[in-house]
Amino acid sequence: MSKTMLLCSGQGSQYEGMGKQLLALCPEAETIYQCGSDITGMDLKQLCLEADAATLAQTKISQPAIFTTSLVAIKAMEKAGFTFDGAAGHSLGEYAAMVAAGMVSMEDGFRLIKERAACMQECAQQQSGSMCAILGLTPQQVEEGCAQVEGYVVPVNYNSPVQTVIAGETAAVDAAIAKFTEMGARRCVKLAVSAAFHSKLMQPAADAFYEKIKDVKFSMPQKEFYCNLTGQLLTDVSDMPGYLAKHIVSPVRFTTELDNIQQAGYDTFVECGPGKVLTGLVKKTLSGVNAINVEDEKTYQKALEVLGL
């Protein structure tokens, strides 16, 4: 029996005008922008639809903007009859997936994102860190290369069998890039971020975030929910604030997650939100599955066609 997995986009996928065509298709999504604006104190509709790239690149803005756009895409798809059996996200994307899976209300989702973005932005301003995507080497080669470099640099995003993102002190990341180039990496692409996300350098953000969200209530997911920390099905929500704080300083094990999702019988993946990064990672990691993204009118119409809606 066919099973459908909802995927939600992560940080870095933002772009100018994201969600504009989806809002035109689904005016009901106006309530999402309004809810988010009321809670965050920012005009999220204006930011998503009109802000320039430099503004959207700020962590305190990009995180709520991407979260909002993912929820808008989901709402537009659900209006057309889209249903799904499980939900997952990449890093930031887990928050939209949690809302979609019924783990937290949309209102609490925006509260979580508001605090996460603020804590991470503040931490980024206090420390120097970098991230870089290493293409063409195995995760094991990347782990070994990092271990041979002086300073702090570690793999933090296991994105596909041939793409791993590293993070750490800027000098150590630069040294690792030189090392991986020697090892035959196809490309080393520095990410346009101001901090070493998902590494121990973000511990101050994790600690501050936990204090802000420790009283938020979570419910067991109404859909199967797969998580970044273990790559496994989430079965315990007794300490989700602790999980989400740990999530900020821990690797995203997305490749393991996709493998486990496929083994559980999922053969259709629908990415809702700006960009198609996760759709690409699914295609690079898994075989025999359908992967589509929904971010504008063209991709929306194609998704409806593929899904038979």
Q: Which are the catalytic amino acids? A: 91, 198
Count the alpha carbons within 13 Å of 134 in the hemisphere toward its beta carbon.
35
Contact (CB, 8 A) for 17 and 49: yes
Q: Where are the beta strands (DSSP E) in 107-162?
A: 130-135, 153-160
| Distance between CA atoms of residues 100 and 75, nearest Å | 9
| Distance between CA atoms of residues 27 and 218, nearest Å | 29
| Distance between CA atoms of residues 233 and 289, nearest Å | 19
| Distance between CA atoms of residues 15 and 65, nearest Å | 10
Contact (CB, 8 A) for 261 and 224: no
Mutual angle of helices 240-248 and 203-213, in 10-degree steps = 160
Q: In terms of Cα–Cα distance, which of 65, 198, 11, 14 is closest to 123?
A: 198
